[in-house]
Amino acid sequence: MIKTLLLSILFFTAFNFKIFAATISGTYYGENCGNSCNPDNLLDDPIEMVEGLITGIFGFADKNASFFIDQVNEKTISILHLDKKMLFTQVAYDPKSRTFKGLGEKDTISGSFDGDNLTITIQTIAKKDAGTGKTKFLVRRLPQSKEAFENLEIINDKLSLAEDKIIDLENNLNRTTEKYKDDTKKLNEIIADLKNKLKKPTKINVDLFESTSTIAANVDLLTAPDSKKGKKIITLKEGDLINHLTTIPPDRDWSLVTSSKGLIGYIKNIFIIDNVSVNNTSIPSEPSINDGDKINLLEPLWDKGKRGEQITLNAPGIVSLQGVINIENLSAVYLNDEAVDISNGRFNHAIIVTEGKNNVVISAENTSGKRTELQFIILVN
């Protein structure tokens, strides 16, 4: 029981906001002296004090007395009478006169402190408030006890500094967390904005291009050359002008086009009507396919009388070259030394032409490495 009380008080003291070790706290040992208390009779040898304390705790010396004092704050102390297992809490202490007075369950306690020695009086409370059973003690603080409490105060100061450091670290962590939240929020806003931009259809500036083709009937401009997978961008109306960029292999049923406002997408070739007046200055007088030619250019059309030599356009921009190769064991086709896709001997490739003369070379190569070339000029007015 005493051990539990002692540990409880020590635990409470260690975590108190301020320990007053330099004043009255400590372990005291002395005697039950009645009315003849003499400080000279107190033991001075620390070993004897400890031995006497142990003997007193276990009740082997009736005259021995031991107390544990805890100064809770400047004006309050707790007193544990180890020999009788009596605990007095909330004992009032006057630091100026160094006197104290308190009330327990069945007893009162009072006394004075001279710096090392304590004079303690414990008196039983009678039913009619008449004091009986008065006992007087004179005890001295053990030097080791005083030193222990002073060290405890140093430790407590370090703990307080550590607690302050923990609070600072927690505050820094909270600030970092809030900053992380703010940064995350900004990044999410940027991501959301980019996603919205990605949802918008691809668009280019076609102000300098003259439309090459016309829409034959109402058709949806799609995001992919597939009626099921492609998503609708806009609906192109019959008669709308477009730029026919290129056909899509391998079947070449679809073409990549731009609307008159620059939106890029895919439509089926059956909805495209080429504008002869844009691609040529005159109506051709020769067939579009010559069985004797190894390289036949189908689109755009040759100038009248200049088949295989010249094509004239009215505006610079993107132009799609479509044709057929009549060569056995065909392995590759090149347009200005750039490899192009071929399917069943057909090719479709877009190039950019500028104002003036644009030299074009279409080369066809068989599996033996032999090349056949068609050289001509695209003239842009």
Task: For residues 355 and 314, give the distance between their C-alpha atoms in angstroms, rounded to a whole number.
Answer: 9
- Note whether 32 and 102 are same-domain residues: yes
Is 26 strand, coil or helix?
strand
pLDDT tens string 230-254: 889 999 998 899 988 888 877 778 9
Strand order in the sheet with 295-299: 295-299, 317-325, 346-353, 342-343
pLDDT (0 to 100) of residue 146: 65
- Note whether 303 and 262 are same-domain residues: no
pLDDT (0 to 100) of residue 207: 74
- Note whether 219 and 333 are same-domain residues: no
pLDDT (0 to 100) of residue 57: 46
Task: For residues 79 and 102, give the distance between their C-alpha atoms in angstroms, rounded to a whole number.
Answer: 9
**CA angle in degrees (0–180, nearest 5) for 43-46-49:** 50
- Note whether 145 and 252 are same-domain residues: no
Whether 192 is in a domain gets the answer no
- Note whether 320 and 257 are same-domain residues: no
pLDDT tens string 155-169: 767 777 888 889 988
- Note whether 9 and 113 are same-domain residues: yes
Any long-range contacts for 106-111 (C-beta under 8 Å, 24+ apart)? 107/133, 109/79
pLDDT tens string 339-361: 998 888 888 888 888 889 999 99
Q: Which of 58-67, 90-99, 190-199 has the highest mean pLDDT?
A: 90-99
Whether 188 is in a domain gets the answer no
- Note whether 147 and 78 are same-domain residues: yes
Please state, in angstroms and as integers, the Cα–Cα distance from residue 72 to each residue in 9, 16, 46, 145, following that order.
10, 8, 26, 16
The enclosing domain of 305 has a CATH number of: 2.60.40.10
- Note whether 134 and 235 are same-domain residues: no
pLDDT category of residue 363 using cuts at 50, 70 and 90: very high
Task: For residues 70 and 86, give the distance between their C-alpha atoms in angstroms, rounded to a whole number.
Answer: 14
- Note whether 10 and 147 are same-domain residues: yes
Whether 381 is in a domain gets the answer yes
Task: For residues 366 and 332, give the distance between their C-alpha atoms in angstroms, rounded to a whole number.
Answer: 7
- Note whether 52 and 106 are same-domain residues: yes
Domain of residue 316 covers 278-381
- Note whether 252 and 340 are same-domain residues: no
The enclosing domain of 8 has a CATH number of: 2.40.160
pLDDT tens string 44-74: 544 444 454 444 444 444 578 899 998 888 8
pLDDT tens string 280-337: 443 333 444 554 578 988 888 898 888 889 999 877 888 889 889 998 899 999 999 8
Whether 179 is in a domain gets the answer no
pLDDT (0 to 100) of residue 121: 93
- Note whether 126 and 244 are same-domain residues: no
> Which amino acid is residue 240, in one-letter code?
D
Whether 162 is in a domain gets the answer no
Contact between residue 344 and residue 267 where contact means Cβ atoms under 8 Å apart: no
Q: Which residue has the higher pLDDT, 124 or 317?
A: 124
pLDDT (0 to 100) of residue 45: 46
Whether 159 is in a domain gets the answer no
The count of domains in the chain is 3
Whether 57 is in a domain gets the answer yes
Average pLDDT for 122-139 = 76
